[in-house]
């Protein structure tokens, strides 16, 4: 979470502008007045992060904001930084563990400002470029591609969350990842200025796009291929069947907890350490897939962290492997 004190914002016309710095009290007061309407900002108070994350865990955030435009996102980020208010851009909440404690800060969601999806252009050879907003759900992207006969995102089926979150962590499966079809990313840098990063400007790696932590993804352009809808549907059905057979989708979770080490999958190591079913409180290592920790109903972040600590210690003692967390601890 970046705490830079920047006063450079975007004007309604997309140009850099200066704004008088706000104190924390000024910001809260201003947002209180904003919450009376539903125009350029939607503002909600004391929102449980449990309702915003797939783990269904987390204490209340003081304020949740949904700007209507990208300029509004840049302005909100700049105001929070200038006032020294903790802030977080949260997508689908599918790869995070939120604290049980209240968050005295601002959560910013992009689903109003960045939810577009459109075909930019195609070629005679069947290549098609699609631009997608960061706030769009991955499930909607997959459905759009099926409806339009576009192949390339099938490996992302069944992954919860949004395009922005998937871009930041280079989400994917054994069949492929987002970087495989990425043409460019649209971002807001630490000053709130828009940048377009081409594929050559990026250095994606396993479960990371290696972006600066204070940059915000607002959109992505993907290079896809025209294909038969029947073929795409068949690949999606096979992938979904595989997910259901191997992943505990009937319980709230954050998906895979650990990155796979080079020599062995994390789930295999955890299972071989005898940890399937290990439970603290209402959080447990899944019996179906050992690299998933599930919420059995009423689990706390403290429960999950205790399970993670035990798993990491046990795998390190058994195999000498230090597991790296894939999920973000808020």
CA distance 260 to 267: 8
Q: For residue 115, what are the contacts with CB-CB under 8 A and spacing of at least 6?
A: 133, 135, 136
Question: What's the number of CA atoms in the CB half-sphere (13 Å) around residue 318?
Answer: 16
Catalytic residues: 207, 256, 326
Contact of 157 with 141, CB cutoff 8 Å: no
Q: Which residue blocks in the chain are alpha helix, DSSP H?
A: 24-34, 70-83, 138-147, 163-168, 229-246, 266-272, 301-319
The CB density around residue 124, as the number of other CB atoms within 10 Å, is 5
What are the structure tokens assigned to 211, written together? 């972006």
CA distance 63 to 146: 37
Q: Which helix (H) or strand (E) holds 186?
A: strand 182-188
- Phi then psi for residue 25, to 5 deg, are -60, -40
């Amino acid at each position: 979470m970046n705490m830079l004190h920047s006063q450079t914002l975007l004007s309604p016309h997309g140009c850099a502008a200066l704004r008088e710095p706000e104190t924390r009290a000024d910001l809260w007061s201003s947002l209180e007045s904003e919450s009376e309407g539903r125009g350029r900002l939607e503002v909600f108070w004391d929102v449980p992060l449990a309702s915003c994350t797939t783990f269904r865990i987390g204490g209340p955030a003081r304020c949740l904001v949904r700007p209507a435009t990208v300029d509004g996102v840049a302005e909100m980020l700049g105001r929070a930084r200038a006032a020294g208010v903790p802030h977080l851009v949260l997508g689908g909440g599918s790869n995070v563990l939120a604290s049980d404690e209240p968050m005295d800060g601002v959560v910013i969601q992009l689903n109003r400002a960045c939810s577009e999806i459109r075909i930019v252009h195609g070629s005679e050879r069947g290549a098609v470029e699609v631009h997608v907003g960061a706030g769009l759900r991955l499930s909607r992207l997959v459905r759009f591609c099926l409806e339009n006969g576009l192949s390339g995102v099938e490996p992302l089926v069944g992954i919860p969350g949004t395009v922005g979150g998937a871009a930041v962590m280079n989400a994917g499966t054994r069949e492929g990842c987002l970087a495989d079809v990425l043409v460019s990313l649209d971002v807001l840098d630490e000053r709130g200025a828009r940048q377009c990063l081409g594929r050559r400007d990026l250095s994606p790696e396993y479960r990371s796009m290696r972006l600066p932590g204070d940059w915000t993804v607002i959109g992505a352009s993907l290079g896809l291929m025209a294909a038969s809808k029947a073929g795409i549907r068949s690949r999606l059905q096979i992938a979904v069947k595989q997910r259901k057979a191997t992943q505990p989708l009937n319980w709230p979770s954050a998906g895979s907890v650990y990155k796979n080490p080079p020599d062995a999958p994390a789930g295999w190591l955890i299972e071989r350490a005898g940890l399937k079913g290990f439970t603290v409180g209402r959080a447990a290592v899944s019996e179906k897939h050992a690299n998933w920790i599930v919420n059995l109903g009423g689990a706390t972040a403290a429960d999950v962290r205790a399970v993670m600590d035990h798993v990491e210690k046990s795998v390190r003692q058994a195999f000498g492997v230090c597991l790296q967390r894939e999920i973000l601890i808020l």
